[in-house]
Amino acid sequence: MAKIRIIPRLDIKGPNLVKGIHLEGLRVVGKPEIFARHYYEQGADELFFIDVVASLYERNSLDDIISNTAKEIFIPLTVGGGLRTLDDIRKVLRAGADKVSINTAALKNPNFISEAALKFGSSTIVVAIEAIKQPNGKYFAYTDNAREFTGVEVFEWAQKVVELGAGEICITSVDNEGTGIGFDTELIQGVSNLVNVPVIAHGGAGKKEDVLNLVNSVDVNAVAIASMFHYDYLNNGYNHDHIACEEGNLEFLSKKRKVNAFSVSSITDLKEYLKINNISIREINN
Amino acid sequence: MKQVAIIDYNLGNLFSVKNACSFLGMNVIVTSDPQDVVKAEAIILPGVGAFNEGMCNLDRLGLSEVIKSKVKNGTPLFGICLGLQMLFTDSYEFGHHKGLGLIEGSIAKFPNHNEGLKLSVPFIGWNTLSFPNTDLKSRSPLSEFNSSDSFYFVHSYYASPQNNSLILSNTTYNGFKYCSSIHDGNNIFATQFHPEKSGKLGISIYKKWAIENKLI
């Protein structure tokens, strides 16, 4: 089997790393560059940055963070959030991103996927799908960090984005995101069954067992994780003086509140755990 | 300090290659100008993208002939990903296309299935290397690695050299074995994976290549 990629996901608002629940209620966690370096040292297989308010305010504030990161962190960097034009993509690639993630712009204009894939190659284009389960059991895709309903059914959309040239899909369960209750395996398997491109599962990892359960039961290539790693680093080693905040809710940080649903884990611990359970992962022997 | 030309043929992200070289203190220039390549003392041919577009761009920019003549005269060349594939004679990506022809062999697409296993294409992710020729390995920038070390790959096509003795490493993706790096035992070295995206081990490849060729 191919190795499961473990991808820390860094949600960025302005100069800060933030974290929410269901992609909302964002709280400042710390300085993204310091988290990125920590995750690199710990054996992250890739980093996934999203400017979580870019679509809302139509701005791209990630470029500086990415170009600083790319100078000394030599693993793939995927960057998304508010990328609407080929020029926006070119700019983040020039800043040092290897792949871009698009969601809102793709749903507004699906041909944007083809144009981007043609211009930059399919393997550069990740389509992010933010899924919310409806009362009738169907999953629908949302945009703008799950604020806007699109009426597009997730499984149909997943097939379509691959036809249009997406090289990878990141599927987020908005219902589970930030909660630590585990992955939505039905959603992720549903998407994975329908496409032949790599699938990144995101939303819900609360403990190591959730990741093991996912990779044992669903055909996925990668797992994106935020809270579990962020809270681990906050509790173990992060220097809390490093806050680059000019904005945001800092109360969470100052109180060092514990989040009960999460049994925190470092990347090293998680990989060790997966390895002893016979899951193929990339080991680093520095 | 000796200058290294990173060939910019308007495809893909060259910044990570440049960042890796600069991080190690190499004197690099990212260029599309054949004159810069003529002057360079080593060449890096990177690239992500389509074979035919890459070759057309190299031809249009007047780079193909310069690269070929430099390499035939012994200038060290480090090819990465599409930069490995374009060294070959032929590609079957979207029709038949001619490559630089420095290495005999061809480029073909991954099958979607192998021995009952699904192969996601493109292959995006980390994988290990096996070394069929220990003597070649010991003289290459990969000399220190073992079979559990992982490197980052992004590709849908793979290379098959006609001459097996050029195969520096093989990689097996869901049971499908292919050539993942080549070394002609002389000045041509190329990897299908991306050393500049393969963490500290990857950076050590650049470092060894640079030291061997007295670039740092």
A122 contacts on B by Cβ (under 8 Å): 122, 156
Q: Could you give the CA distance from residue A103 to residue B112 in angstroms, rounded to a whole number?
A: 27
pLDDT of A254 above 90: no
**pLDDT for A24-33, tens place per residue?**
778 888 999 9
φ/ψ (deg, to 5) at B180: -110, -5
With bands split at pLDDT 50, 70 and 90, how would you rate the model's confidence at A8?
A: very high
With bands split at pLDDT 50, 70 and 90, how would you rate the model's confidence at A55?
A: low
Residue A286 is assigned to a structural domain of this protein = no
pLDDT at A59: 54
Hey, what amino acid is at B213? N
Q: Could you give the CA distance from residue B210 to residue A182 in angstroms, rounded to a whole number?
A: 46
pLDDT at B172: 96
* Contact in structure between A140 and A132 (CB atoms under 8 Å): yes
* Contact in structure between A101 and A78 (CB atoms under 8 Å): yes
Q: How far is B6 from chain A (nearest CA, A)?
A: 15
Domains and CATH numbers, chain B: 3-212 (3.40.50.880)
Q: Per the CB < 8 Å rule, is B122 touching A167? A: yes
pLDDT of A56 above 70: no
Residue A257 is assigned to a structural domain of this protein = yes
Q: Per the CB < 8 Å rule, is B125 touching A3? A: yes
Residue A284 is assigned to a structural domain of this protein = no
Domain that holds residue A153: 5-276
Candidates A45, A74, A279, A283: best to mutate against B (most CBs of B within 10 A) is: A74
* Contact in structure between A45 and A35 (CB atoms under 8 Å): no
Residue of A nearest to B50 (CA): A121
- CATH classification of the domain holding A176: 3.20.20.70
Q: Mean pLDDT across the stretch A214-225?
A: 96
* Contact in structure between B204 and B194 (CB atoms under 8 Å): no
Q: Per the CB < 8 Å rule, is A198 touching B127? A: no
**pLDDT for A88-110, tens place per residue?**
998 898 889 999 999 999 999 99
Catalytic residue among A45, A46, A51, A130: A130
With bands split at pLDDT 50, 70 and 90, how would you rate the model's confidence at A120?
A: confident
pLDDT of A285 above 50: yes
- Give the ipTM of the model, two decimals please: 0.92
The domain tally of chain A equals 1
pLDDT at B67: 98
Q: Per the CB < 8 Å rule, is B197 touching A122? A: no
Residue A71 is assigned to a structural domain of this protein = yes
With bands split at pLDDT 50, 70 and 90, how would you rate the model's confidence at A246?
A: very low
Residue A228 is assigned to a structural domain of this protein = yes
- Reported pTM: 0.92
